[in-house]
Structures are given as C-alpha cells and as structure tokens.
Structure 1
Amino acid sequence: MERYESWVDRQIREAQERGEFDNLRGAGKPIPGLTGRDDPDWWVKGLMEREQIRPPLPPALALRKEVAELPQTLADARDEQVVRDLVAALNQRILELRREPARGRSPVLVPTVDVERVVAEWRQRS
C-alpha cells in the first residue's frame, strides 16, 4: 500500500535530507520554561523574565519608593518652584490614596513630605 505524503510533509522530508535541520541552536537541549508544571501564566512569566519587566508595586509601596527617590528626582531641577510643584504633586497623590477605601488592602501609611524641608535640602545640594 502506497503512503500519501502531503506537500508540507514532502517539504519537511526533503529539507531533512538536505541537512537543513542539522546543527540548529539548542538542538538536543530541553526547551526553556518547560518544567512539567501546569502553570496558566507561564507565558506572562516568560515574557517578564525575557523583557526584564518588573511587576507593578501596590500604590502605597510605589509612593514610598517615590518619596525615597525624591532627592534623585529633584537633582536635575534648576528652579525652586519646580521642586515645590513636584513635592506638592507627590503629596496630592499621597492624600488621594489615603482617601480611597482600603478594599482588601492594608491602610496607607505613607506620610506626606515636608515641602520646606525638601526645598532646604535641595538648596544645600545645588
């Protein structure tokens, strides 16, 4: 009995015969990311690892990080009014988060930033 070979199967067989699949990068090695576990988010985790994407922080932690990085943020500011505006905007975001209902998260414990203290520190660095 003669076996039917589709056009695609013939193309693959001929390419194999020509050696076009020999010495491919990763040949004989396990496929990365296949750990045998059934993880529905495997592709997201792989994308985040490949693209070096950091997961977003919860709002309170993001604001704390912003407060901690405030000196670096203000390092390029050349005008005191710009410094005041940036700190005022940060304080506004902190107050807005405080006003939101908790909804399953711990209460926000991020203190507002003292504008005058930050301006004085900025002047010393400038």
Structure 2
Amino acid sequence: MIPVIEVVRTEIKNLNSLCMVYTAVNSELGRQYEILRAGGTVLNETRTVDHYGWKQIKQEWIENCRLMLSKPRYLKNIEEYGMRPEVALRIANQKNLATFVEMVLNVCDDAEMASVLVEWTFLLQKNSLHHGKLACFQINFK
C-alpha cells in the first residue's frame, strides 16, 4: 500500500501576467513562513490577487494636493472680500488687473474697503476701455 501524504496547497486566482505570478509566489512564501514561524498551521485555501494595485496614500501627499487645488482666486475674492461675481471673474481674466487687485488686498486689512477699491478700479477700467488703457495697469509694481 502506498502511503498517503497530505499536501497543503494554496490556490491563487487572478494571475494574469508573469510579474503577478512572481509577486504572488514570493508573497505566499513569506506569508506561509510567518505562519509556521509563529507556530501556526498553513491551511488549504483559495486566495486572490489584488490586480487593481491599490496602494496606501500618505496623508502628506493628500495635503500637498489639497494645497495645489485650493479655491480659484475669483471664488476667494467673492467669499472673503464680498466682490460681485462678475467683478471677480473679470479680475481673474486679466493678469495685470489681477496683480493690482492682489497687491491691494495684501496691503488693505479692511475687506470692505478692499472690495470698494476693487469695484471702483473695475468700473474705472470698464469705462476707460473706450479711451485706451489705464496708465496704472502699465506700471511695474514692486
């Protein structure tokens, strides 16, 4: 009579590349080694490979992304300084005007006063477009 040797096997599903086979075999060797080292018993089982490749995302990376994706300047101007939406959008679409407005808002601590100054500047520019560019938007602010 031939002796029957009970073999423990682990079936791993969803292997669709040689790289995944390599990774799965190495991972399974490590897993079973740790079980045996801890005095446990390896059982027959069917496992699957996470073929989506989910990875742990570090909180630091999330915070960096959040900072890079901060609110657009025009929304900040609407919410923090009470600008009318059309004024905030107009400013956002004109680089020179946006630079000037940003300088005003950095210097002026009074949000209401800054909003009034921005509205005034917007109206001045809007009415001056028919007569040429405003000189103040051609000045190199430092």
For the aligned pair, the TM-score class normalised by the smaller chain equals: under 0.3
Higher RCO structure (Cα 8 Å, ≥6 apart): 1
* TM-score calculated relative to the size of structure 1: 0.25
Say which structure is richer in strand. Answer: 2
Q: Normalising by structure 2, what TM-score?
A: 0.23
Q: Which has the higher helix share?
A: 2
